[in-house]
Amino acid sequence: MATEKILMEVRNLRKWFPVRRTIGDVIKRRPRLWVRAVDGISFNIMKREIFGLVGESGSGKTTTGKLLIRLWDPDEGRILYHTNGKVVDLAELSSKELKPWRKKLQIIYQDPYGSLNPRMTVREQLMEPLRFLEPDLPLEEKEEKIVRALERVRLVPVEEFINKYPHQLSGGQRQRVAVARAIIVEPEFLVADEPVSMIDVSMRAGILHLLLRMRDELGLAILYITHDLATAGYLTDRIAVMYLGKIFEIGPAEKVLMEPLHPYSQALISAVPVPDPTVKKERVILKGEIPSPIFIPEGCRFWPRCPKAFDRCRKEVPELREVEPGRFVACHLYS
């Protein structure tokens, strides 16, 4: 993988959240417990790539996205950002040092109903990032940027939308405003956190196509977070499968979806419905639910649910290894 094509390198990234202690915990001196949301993950995101991060709810996908753009501070690890011939470790920057980088790092949230301020018009929503990130830009140029951003996301004619409030828009239109707000400062890296999961099915294809067009027009790299493997297959170039704070498999999207290697990936993909009643698909049924991220199983954290688990899985944590060019898997079956 050529270094000059890498935009972001993530190395051993970790984020644990402390569990709130009760008075009884303090009096009895019980040890502090931690939610291991992200527990030492590593991967690369290439320039102009759409990188998918998939897995069940509670696997740490959203936490990972927020760590990469420093909405949350990592406990350990490195986030190496390649730009203009330089490499900057975003994990080491202070809040003040991060401000110039905010233009390059943006996010689209899952909920278009909660991510927009209900008291602001569309114009005011889009003016907000310009006020903070491009304060020296003349007002006339800011207005031009707002109009251009709305045209890019196909909210036209602009005059019909620019003075509306969020409650006057449909779910799909709100999410288009959220996309416009993210791209208005022309970022290099965008986190799309389940951007279509809370809008009508009929509107999802339009938002996914919009993300593809933004990648091509603006040269964006996108981290696409989802539990919907069908949309991941349509949108992404590569996919990482995440479970309980760890990455279990990474590879080209088509390969991961058509020939999954890890038993967890195989179970996820077996649950995707096939739109052909004549095709019989073997379903892999997992035992139980995803364990608590506080009390992680010893060894491979997937073994209590894995249909292929053996003794080594219960004792030894598998490392993420390259098993063929461009494909990585963390499983003792391949070591």
Joined together, the tokens standing for residue 323 give 């098993």
In 3-state terms, what secondary structure has residue 210?
A: helix
Residue % of the chain over a pLDDT of 90: 72
Is the peptide bond between 157 and the residue preceding it cis, with omega within 30 degrees of 0?
yes
Where residue 184 falls among pLDDT bands split at 50, 70, 90? very high
pLDDT-based confidence at residue 3 (cuts at 50, 70, 90): low
Per-residue confidence (pLDDT) for residue 54, from 0 to 100:
96
pLDDT digits (tens, 9 = 90+) for 191-245: 999 998 888 877 888 899 999 999 999 999 999 999 888 899 989 999 999 999 9
Angle at 74 between CA 134 and CA 195, to 5 degrees: 60
Rounded mean pLDDT of 314-334? 94
Mean pLDDT of the chain: 91
Measured CA to CA, the distance from residue 128 to residue 210 in angstroms comes to 22
Per-residue pLDDT of 97-130, as tens digits, reads 998 899 999 999 988 888 899 999 999 999 999 9
* pLDDT at position 237: 96
Distance CA 294, CA 33 (A): 7
Banded model confidence at residue 276, pLDDT cuts 50, 70, 90: low
Mean pLDDT across 268-273: 82
Q: What is the pLDDT confidence band of residue 2, given thresholds at 50, 70 and 90?
A: low
Q: 279 pLDDT exceeds 70?
A: no
**Residue 284: which of 313, 312, 304, 264 has the closest Cα?**
264
Quote the longest CA-to-CA distance of the chain: 67
Is residue 3 helix, strand or coil? helix
Q: Give the per-residue pLDDT at 76.
A: 96
What tens digit of pLDDT does each residue of 28-81 get?
Answer: 788 889 999 999 999 999 999 999 999 988 899 999 999 999 999 999 999 999
Any long-range contacts for 109-112 (C-beta under 8 Å, 24+ apart)? 109/178, 109/193, 109/195, 110/62, 110/193, 110/194, 110/195, 110/197, 110/198, 111/198, 112/171, 112/174, 112/175, 112/177, 112/178, 112/198, 112/199
> What pLDDT does residue 261 have?
94
Q: Measure the CA–CA gap between 241 and 278, rounded to whole angstroms.
A: 29
Count of Cβ atoms closer than 10 Å to residue 213 Cβ: 13
Residue 79: what pLDDT?
A: 97
Give the span between the Cα atoms of 232 and 245, in whole angstroms.
Answer: 20
Give me the mean pLDDT over the 302-323 stretch.
Answer: 93
Q: Are 72 and 63 in contact (CB under 8 A)?
A: yes
Superfamily, domain 3-267:
P-loop containing nucleotide triphosphate hydrolases (3.40.50.300)
- Rounded to whole angstroms, the Cα distance separating 265 from 54 reads 9
d(CA 317, CA 169): 49
